[in-house]
Amino acid sequence: MDATIDTKTVPSNEDRLAKLEGMGCSRKRYEDPRFIQGKGNYVDDIKMPNMLVGVMVRSPYAHARIKSIDTSKALAHPGVYAVLTAEDLKPLKLHWMPTLAGDVQAVLADGKVVFQNQEVAFVVAEDRYIAADAAELVEVEYEPLAVLVDPLKAMAPDAPTVRDDIKDKDVGAHGARKHPNHIFTWDIGDKDKTDRAFDNAEVTVKQDMIYQRVHPCPLETCGCVASFDKIRGDLMVYITSQAPHVVRTVVGMLSSIPESKIRIISPDIGGGFGNKVGIYPGYVCAIVASIVLGRPVKWIESRTENLTTTAFARDYHMTGELAADKDGKIKALRVHVTADHGAFDACADPSKWPAGMFHVVTGSYDIPNAFVSVDGIYTNKCPGGVSYRCSFRVTEAVYLIERMVDVLAQKLGIDKAEIRFRNFLRKDQFPYQTALGLEYDSGDYEPALRKGLAALDYPALRAEQAARRADPDAATLMGIGICTFTEIVGAGPSKMCDILGIGMFDSCEIRVHPDGSAIARMGTISQGQGHQTTYAQIIASVAGIPASLITVEEGDTATAPYGLGTYGSRSTPVAGAAIARASHKIREKARKIAAHLLEVSPDDVEFDLDRFVVKGAPDQAKSIKEVAWAAYNNVPEGMEMGLEAVDYYDPPNFTFPFGTYICVVDVDRFSGETKIRRFYALDDCGTRINPMIIEGQVHGGLTEGFAVAMGQQLTYDDAGNVLGGTLMDYFLPTSMETPHWETDFTVTPSPHHPIGAKGVAESPHVGSIPCFTAAMVDAFAHLGVTHMNMPHNSFRVWQQSHALNLDQR
């Protein structure tokens, strides 16, 4: 091949950038064609020879002793191969399994059931129809027990005991236990200093609030196909998992099969939102059945099973307090939370932090003193506690601080925008050590809020609102909500974050082929984030390989390097950093090969978009394609052949995206019907990789935030019956209900991230929910209302209006 490139034939920088389709390019999603054509490959699409199907028998009771289980009629049904109960799993020591939170959970109910629809037996048959019919033939005799559904009553002396198996244990995974229904107490901050600040404060405010129990409700429910090869001793599992490598480790722990003989494959996943992080009993039962029967076994849950038995989110009962001076400068924050974890502590949180990253609760504000205490509680409800489109418990934290800042502003008669300006962290204060021990890497909050206020003409909105309030005949109330949030993402630094003892690093392996194309494999797994598109763009910008020539693979533990998966907006902050670093390793080796080909020192060669040029002699150059070919036949003496790189990235810190959201609502005072007039969302996620995908992710997060704030809630009656177990009852907004979103951005790169990226997909969910509530409260604020608990559906809003007699005026 020629030693140099004829510069006359080299395209312009603009043409070369366009061909690369690197960072900053709104490259169309590579994934879309197969999804649009219905050619996705989901777990329920998997069909294997001689495959059987499993169906769960579930409890109608929320709390009851199991007096007997008779499986004889089910076993006699034609086409049934097995019916598993806890007694069948006990010899294998698989009747209980570890949770990600350090607790244990019954795979199949052992002695008693502790929440409605808990798994009692697993029927395996030729197809799901036979299995479902046979499940109806399993006869279970129950002895109903007193039910506990209110976490605020859980530690009363006469409260029913949820967990008989650990009722006498004084110590749990996270320290001392105060009561049989108590899981942990997690304190953080300086209590004495905070209490003194409150004692000396000119102004204090206090507000109780509930962040209701909700469910991520992904389009695809959970499921798996397990296939055990009795000859080879190999186990292959197709599974709907956001963290396939962690599943492999847990399966190895449970089954005693070496991880080297376990292959976990997460194919296309129809949404996760945190719901598909944990291990569910259906997975374990399918695996056990396959090992016992020697045939593949599929388990796919129904929609009702998904809503009532897989991991919920939120259910935080919070009390917030602020201490401030008379000018609204915050001096201290004090918070107590009662966290309803359901019947087992199966929260998907880092091991060291049982309340997740709730300590981001100081928000975007310079708060010198803070103390937080969280009590985790058992109740007769479904276990879980996942990060529904947010990092661990961040949305609860942001909700509380944003609500409290509004409550303080209302008490002092200060505009809610102005009180934020008075308390914002300044740009020159970063990196900033919060009173609760986090180090914010970067931020620039004031320009973001000013940009948002200008975009909506905030003074004009306030003037219109004042005129409405002065008119006694106005049929609608007008509310303006502001949220200026800081999120914490990128879990995480292994010195702080682990799951079951495994540090939360992530990984990337890149192999460049002789023709200049490449394959990249990561430890994450996409559930709609567009990884195959954006990951290739990072490689394109850093290594100079056109994105169209890069294949991205994830989700197969047989080929992907070990990683902790995709949740908590960690794809770009952690995996994206590993990709950038591996790409840089590729580029550095390629630079040395190019120098060898150009017969100059590597120090005399520099990278230029998609080629390497001799400094001061741009006509002396080698393209990345030429270097890739040489990597397999002509490398410097002592260098290994090939062009490959692997990187395991353990971040030094989290990243801290932020945003300013403003919502304007019109509320019919007679019916409670609410219309979202405008919703403005400005996000700062640092370096923007693909603006089009960012826009789509923001729209999705805002829509889910709208759903939570305005309608979603999993409710239980006093007997523990789930009252929202179908999509007839659980609110999922369609295009008819979803408002129009106005998006905007600023760019404040993360100083420690290799490409300055922070993550964005969960920020709109985190920031929009308190913004909706703020707007709803603001509509009634002139009448003395300081807070309204979600969801803000028409009936609940009408109740507020009726309580104030507004519907009678």
Burial class of residue 462 in the structure, from the number of CB atoms within 10 Å of its CB (0-12 exposed, 13-18 middle, 19+ buried):
middle
Residues 69 and 488: their CA atoms lie apart, in Å, by 47
Q: Is 242 a catalytic residue?
A: yes
Q: What is the β-pairing status of strands 742-745 and 369-377?
A: unpaired
Coil vs helix vs strand at 805? coil
**CA angle 239-243-245, nearest 5°?**
90
Element (H, E) at 11: none
Which of 242, 465, 529, 713 is flagged as catalytic? 242
Count of alpha carbons within 13 angstroms of residue 92, beta-carbon side:
24
Interatomic CA distance for residues 789 and 772, integer angstroms: 11
Establish how many alpha carbons lie within 13 A of residue 641's alpha carbon, considering only the half-sphere containing its beta carbon: 7
H runs (alpha helix) in 343-499: 394-412, 416-423, 445-456, 458-470
What DSSP string describes 162-204? S-GGGTT-SEETTEE-SSTTEEEEEEEE-HHHHHHHHHT-SEE
- Which residues have CB under 8 Å from 296's CB, separation 6+? 48, 49, 50, 51, 52, 225, 226, 227, 290
Helix or strand (DSSP H, E) at 209: strand 203-214
For 477-533, give the secondary structure using H, E and C. Answer: EEEEEEEEEECCECCCCCCCCEECCEECCEEEEEEECCCCCEEEEECCCCCCCCHHH
Q: Which residue carries 């510069």 as its tokens? A: 7
DSSP summary character for residue 246: H
Cα atoms in the 13 Å half-sphere on the side-chain side of 462: 12
Query: Tell me, what amino acid is at 602?
Result: P
Cα dihedral 259, 647, 587, 545, rounded to 10, equals 60
Residues ≥6 apart with Cβ < 8 Å to 341:
183, 315, 347, 376, 377, 378, 379, 383, 384, 385
Alpha carbon distance 477, 172 (integer Å): 49
User: For this structure, is 465 an active site residue?
Assistant: no
Cross-strand bridge partners of residue 614: 605, 617
390 is catalytic: yes
User: In this structure, are strands 262-265 and 203-214 parallel, antiparallel, or unpaired?
Assistant: unpaired
Q: What is the largest CA-CA distance in the chain?
A: 90
DSSP bridge pairs for 324: 203, 330
Task: Check if the beta carbon of residue 389 is closer than 8 Å to that of residue 317.
Answer: no
Choosing from 390, 483, 497, 685, the catalytic residue is 390
For residues 310, 259, 87, 301, the Cα torsion angle rounded to the nearest 10 degrees is: 30
**What letter represents residue 116's amino acid?**
Q
Q: Which residues pair with 185 in a beta bridge?
A: 375
Active-site annotation holds for 382: no
Closest CA to 452 of 720, 661, 222, 645: 661
Which of 27, 58, 248, 389 does the annotation list as catalytic? 389
Catalytic residue among 248, 382, 762, 796: 762
For the annotated catalytic residues, the residue numbers are 242, 389-390, 762
